[in-house]
Amino acid sequence: MAGKETPRQKMIGMMYLVLTAMLALNVSEEFMNAFKLVNDGLETTASNFASANKMTYDAFEQSMKNDPVKTKPFQDKALLAQKYSQDLDVYINEVKKEITAEAGGIDEETGDIAKRSDMEIGVQLMITNKKGSELKAKILATRNQYLDLVDKGERSNFDFSLNAIAPGPDKEGIKKSWEQQNFEGVPVTAIVTILSKIQNDNKNAEAEVTKYLLSKINATDFKFDQLEATVVAPTSYVLVGQPYEAQVFISASSSTQNPNIVVGGRTLPVENGKGKFVTTPTQEGFIKWGGVINVKTPDGAVKPYKFEAEYQAAKPTAVVSADKMNVFYVGVDNPVSISAPGVPKEKVRASISGDGASIVGSNGKYIVRVSKPGTKAMVTVSGEISKGQVRTLGGMEYRVKRIPDPVAKVAGVSSGILSASQLKAQRGVFAVLEGFDFDLKFNVKSFSAIIIRARQDLIRLQSTSAAITPEMLGAMNGLGPKDKVIFDDIVASGPDGSNRKLNSVVISIQ
């Protein structure tokens, strides 16, 4: 009933045997490196065994929920197997730490033991100080503890690789103890590898026993005649950069008995042992659903199995972005709409990075404020993908610019021809933002008016506001054809607080 080795485990095991056989012939750096490689592989394999064992213990927990009376005796034995495994594993780790410390610890440059080729440290610790004998006793005791968890009539089916049997005599008739065979004349790195192999054998034995105990729970339960490969994923909606996870396993059903499956008080149609659930979501978000499967047991009783599932519903969306228009303006509220396909808007979060940048808002609507033109701001979007898991979904970089200069105008023109009466009817100089989507206002703070008449001296007057002063209007009396009025040195202030010097407005009198 031994567990089936994977190709990776077989390869590592073969490398271990070859390297052990070559120890007496060569202890070069290449062989030391090879032992380090094998040890890393063994530790990874042991970790994989631990993960597989966890799935078995999870199966016990699930079985306890469905039928605690039947499950508990076998779960108690499985927990004993887990304890036996942990006790031996902890002990071997302590031996590893001790021998590593004696060999100078881990070399930071190589990542391996400093005195990895030393052959005396292992002899002193494992044989002279009898750590090897102590380890052997613990291995044999753990092996017997595992077997005690198996029914007597079935123990012969178990041939654990976890053992500590002394080898037979060699060609010269010399018989070595198990301790001598494994630790005498062996470099430190090889001893650590041997200890890792024992840990691997220990996890394998634990796996064999716990799987055996799990199988005993339902030995007299339902009989199924249909098997198929099944893939179950927590969600079928995955974004780029988000991991996709799924469990792949064999599921069983009966072609002779259809279970009764009820979801939300509604009995599902069942064919070949499988129920079909169809629904149409009416709202966005993660939607949980579940029900109960009622199965008739071999003794005629009906046994209920509750289940829960979850799916994600999202509105169809399309996102269009003009890359060249990715601009935030200083001194104004920059409205931003943010959404993430497949993520409800209340689950979307936005943040911004950049010198003097900030963002506020929620439910897809945000306001960005920036203060330093010439810099860049990065808006980052994250979302709650499922069950509290928040992931970064993407981002967009924006350029920070100041609001463009407005155009100075008088009588609605920036330059042109007016009659003297039209010009005198004007009351001020105005700053107008042309072709800018924001509804913003610039205020003229000051300007000069230069009045040029034929064969007369130039008149220059100053206004400290947007208004054309009475003095300016008086100076414009008697303007005739071909005279000119130039509005110059125009200064306006905008919502960003900056002062702008605007274009001159040249008016010719007709």
Question: pLDDT by residue (tens digit) across 70-109?
Answer: 999 999 999 999 999 999 999 999 999 999 999 899 888 8
d(CA 273, CA 294): 11
**18 has a pLDDT exceeding 70:** no
| Higher per-residue pLDDT: 340 or 126 | 126
Of all residues in the chain, what percent carry a pLDDT higher than 70? 80
H or E segment and range at residue 40: helix 29-66
Considering only 122-136, 296-310, 413-427, which range has the smallest mean pLDDT?
296-310
d(CA 210, CA 233): 26
Report for 126-130, 218-222, 246-250: range of highest mean pLDDT = 126-130
Count of beta carbons in the 10 Å neighbourhood of residue 134: 14
d(CA 20, CA 410): 97
d(CA 328, CA 358): 11
Q: Give the angle 171-172-173 at the CA atoms, nearest 5°.
A: 90
At residue 1 the predicted structure's pLDDT band, cuts being 50, 70 and 90, is very low
168-206: per-residue pLDDT in tens?
Answer: 887 787 888 999 888 888 899 889 989 999 999 999 999
d(CA 292, CA 66): 12
d(CA 167, CA 178): 7
At residue 345 the predicted structure's pLDDT band, cuts being 50, 70 and 90, is confident
d(CA 268, CA 259): 10
**254 has a pLDDT exceeding 80:** no
Going from the C-alpha of 332 to that of each of 325, 369, 395, 502, the distances in angstroms are: 16, 7, 22, 20
Give all strands of the β-sheet with 302-313 in edge-to-edge order.
Answer: 266-267, 260-263, 285-296, 302-313
Mean per-residue pLDDT over the chain, rounded: 83
The reported pLDDT for the residue numbered 117 is 85
**285 has a pLDDT exceeding 90:** no
The reported pLDDT for the residue numbered 2 is 45
d(CA 60, CA 51): 15
The reported pLDDT for the residue numbered 497 is 85
The reported pLDDT for the residue numbered 151 is 93
Going from the C-alpha of 45 to that of each of 8, 81, 192, 365, the distances in angstroms are: 8, 19, 15, 50
Query: In a 10 Å sphere around its CB, with 0-12 CB exposed, 13-18 middle and 19+ buried, how is residue 51 labelled?
Result: exposed
Query: In a 10 Å sphere around its CB, with 0-12 CB exposed, 13-18 middle and 19+ buried, how is residue 15 labelled?
Result: middle
Contacts of 23 (CB under 8 A, 6+ apart): 31, 185, 186, 187, 190
Amino acid at 250: I
Contact predicate 144/162, CB 8 Å: no
